[in-house]
């Protein structure tokens, strides 16, 4: 997945295109950048702004749009009317979701959209927007209105399909975004962190761009963006002499799991090993106590025709079933922290034995009746019954009445599971 950010260069990398690359990367998508203007700034002030020439802007856009598949476009700082006109003419016929983040003033008070360009901005940039994400101040400048609902409706009437006013209201430690979709309006609230920062607006709109490219609903996109911004402010750094710079480092555990999931999904014909109950791939903290200590995919890896799609996000508590399995194994073998479930196939079991894997199994039909009634009890019972003195590579069962047979692969970490997967010659 590839996303293009069109905006200003910020050498402090707190905002602008540099910050967007970090957001895209944190969401595991590739980012392109087209520079509209070069700002000189730090955490205290902006000292210079030089827009690029229209020729450069045109050729930058052509370079990207003629070569790559672009799954969404974010438009940030545009500065003047010449830049606005080029963007409008190049993007009018582009058929990918466009997120517009109106950039009018910097946190430190500098003008980032010239006053005499505001008319052209409304005429030529706002109508490109599938989603526009002004903050309260920007919404007021664009609409002339203070009331969130009226202001959003005005901006929608200028041509944006959906309007999200970020930080529309805030009280009691909460900050709420006002969302006006094509046919409904609602508010989404989250926790507020009162830290003056540089970058949160860019983080928000870039995260929305990723979600839109992934086909998520606007409501889910807003929830994901709010959480991302919360984290980026929480981990913001005072690395300069002025305001904090937002920062979010995806944990190495999430990166490791996410890389392995992507690798797994790319295996040829891998859809054939996805069971009816779908697949999860998990990675636990050390000594996990509950599934809330285990990273998993909240909506699992699901089969859609011959494709395997990631439904949901990688989150702690994302898997009940496979999460419970890894917790049970880790009680006896603490080094084992990752697991993946796939469809039972005797050929896979015989490949595993040929590779000298430690393969264990249990018979679900032998589980005591009393236990069966409890949610997820079977897996704990089955696993604790079959473990022996060696850490397992594979544990399988052949099902029970109404229960699907299943293979679980175990390893110390997701990349080790992928090494095992390559030996098992899945989907051949």
What are the residues binding ligand PXL (CB under 6 A)?
Answer: 7-8, 10, 15-16, 39, 41, 76-77, 103, 106-107, 112, 201-202
Q: Tokens at residue 323, please?
A: 């999460």
Q: How far apart are CA 97 and CA 81, in angstroms?
A: 23
**Could you tell me the smallest distance in angstroms from the CB atom of residue 247 to ligand PXL?**
14
Q: How far is the CB of 38 from ligand PXL (least distance, A)?
A: 9
Which of 103/155 has CB closer to ligand PXL?
103
Give least dist CB 14 to ligand PXL, A.
Answer: 7
Q: What dihedral do alpha carbons 211, 213, 215, 216 form, nearest 10°?
A: 10
Q: How far is the CB of 7 from ligand PXL (least distance, A)?
A: 5
Sort strands 294-297 and 314-316 into parallel, antiparallel or unpaired.
Answer: antiparallel
* Shortest spacing between CB 196 and ligand PXL, in angstroms: 12
- Using CB atoms within 10 Å of the CB of residue 361, give its burial: 0 to 12 exposed, 13 to 18 middle, 19+ buried: middle
Name which of 8 and 392 has its Cβ closer to ligand PXL.
8
Nearest-angstrom CA–CA distance, 15 and 341: 41
For residue 115 the two structure tokens come to: 């006053």
With a CB cutoff of 8 Å and minimum separation 6, the contacts of 367 are 377, 378, 381, 382, 400
**What does the alpha-carbon distance between residue 112 and residue 89 come to, in Å, rounded to a whole number?**
21
For the CB of residue 383, give the shortest distance to ligand PXL in the complex, in Å.
50
For residues 360 and 408, the answer to whether their CB atoms sit within 8 Å is no
Residue pair 319/339 in contact by the 8 Å Cβ criterion: no
Residue with tokens 């980012």: 31
d(CA 147, CA 144) in angstroms, rounded, equals: 10
Distance CA 227, CA 207 (A): 10
Give the tokens for residue 203.
């983080």
Which CB, 40 or 298, lies closer to ligand PXL? 40
Burial bucket for residue 266 (CB in 10 Å: 0-12, 13-18, 19+): exposed
Closer to ligand PXL by CB, 106 or 280: give it. 106
Pairing mode of beta strands 359-362, 338-343: unpaired
Question: What DSSP element (H or E) covers 228?
Answer: helix 218-234
Looking at beta carbons, which residue is closest to ligand PXL? 8
Task: Work out how close the CB of 201 gets to ligand PXL at its nearest, in angstroms, rounded to a whole number.
Answer: 5
Considering the complex, state which of residue 5 and residue 328 has its C-beta at the smaller distance from ligand PXL.
Answer: 5
In total, the chain counts a number of residues equal to: 428
Q: Which is nearer to ligand PXL, 236 or 279 (CB)?
A: 236
Min dist. Cβ of residue 358 to ligand PXL (A): 53
- Rounded to the nearest whole angstrom, what is the least distance from the CB of residue 95 to ligand PXL in the complex? 26
Tokens of residue 313, six digits = 């996000």
Question: Least separation, in Å, of the C-beta of 387 and ligand PXL?
Answer: 53
Q: Using the minimum distance from each CB to ligand PXL, give the nearer residue, 44 or 289.
A: 44
Nearer to ligand PXL, 48 or 287 (CB): 48
Burial 143-165 (b: 16+ CB within 10 A, else e): beeeebeebbebbbebebbbbbb
Which lies closer to ligand PXL via its Cβ, residue 71 or residue 101?
101
Structural contact between residues 34 and 60, judged by C-beta atoms closer than 8 angstroms = yes
- Our CB check for ligand PXL shows the closer of 113 and 297 to be 113
Q: Which is nearer to ligand PXL, 78 or 284 (CB)?
A: 78
Nearest distance in Å: CB 200, ligand PXL: 8
For residue 208, the number of C-alpha atoms closer than 13 Å in the C-beta half-sphere is 31
């Amino acid at each position: 997945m590839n996303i293009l950010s069109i905006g200003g260069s910020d050498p402090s990398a707190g905002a602008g295109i540099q910050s967007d690359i970090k957001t895209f990367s944190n969401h595991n998508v590739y980012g392109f950048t087209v520079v509209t203007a070069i700002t000189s700034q730090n955490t205290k002030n902006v000292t210079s702004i030089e827009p690029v020439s229209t020729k450069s802007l045109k050729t930058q856009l052509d370079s990207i749009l003629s070569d790559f598949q672009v799954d969404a476009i974010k438009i940030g700082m545009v500065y003047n009317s010449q830049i606005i006109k080029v963007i409008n003419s190049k993007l009018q016929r582009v058929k990918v979701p466009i997120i517009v983040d109106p950039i009018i003033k910097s946190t430190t008070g500098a003008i980032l959209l010239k006053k005499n360009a505001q008319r052209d901005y409304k005429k030529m940039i706002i109508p490109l927007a599938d989603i526009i994400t002004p903050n309260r101040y920007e919404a007021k400048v664009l609409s002339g209105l203070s009331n969130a609902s009226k202001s959003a409706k005005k901006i929608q009437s200028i041509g944006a399909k959906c309007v999200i006013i970020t930080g529309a209201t805030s009280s009691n430690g909460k900050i709420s975004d006002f969302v006006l979709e094509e046919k409904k309006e609602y508010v989404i609230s989250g926790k507020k962190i009162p830290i003056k920062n540089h970058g949160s607006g860019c983080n928000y709109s870039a995260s929305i761009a990723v979600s839109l490219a992934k086909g998520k609903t606007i409501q889910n996109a807003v929830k994901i963006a709010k959480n991302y911004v919360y984290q980026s402010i929480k981990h913001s750094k005072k690395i300069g002499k002025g305001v904090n710079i937002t920062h979010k480092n995806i944990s190495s555990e999430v990166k490791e799991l996410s890389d392995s999931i992507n690798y797994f999904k790319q295996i040829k014909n891998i859809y054939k090993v996805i069971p009816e109950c779908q697949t999860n791939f998990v990675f636990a903290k050390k000594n996990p106590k509950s599934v809330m200590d285990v990273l998993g995919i909240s909506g699992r890896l699901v089969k859609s025709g011959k494709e395997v799609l990631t439904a949901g996000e990688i989150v702690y508590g994302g898997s009940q079933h496979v999460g419970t399995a890894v917790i049970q194994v880790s009680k006896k073998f603490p080094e084992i922290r990752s697991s993946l479930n796939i469809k039972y196939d005797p050929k896979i079991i015989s490949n595993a034995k040929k590779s000298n894997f430690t393969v264990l199994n249990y018979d679900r039909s032998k589980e005591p009746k009393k236990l069966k009634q409890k949610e997820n009890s079977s897996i704990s019972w089955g696993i604790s019954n079959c473990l022996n003195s060696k850490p397992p590579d594979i544990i399988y069962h052949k099902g029970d009445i109404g229960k699907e047979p299943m293979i679980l692969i175990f390893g110390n970490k997701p990349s080790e599971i992928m090494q095992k997967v390559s030996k098992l010659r899945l989907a051949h």
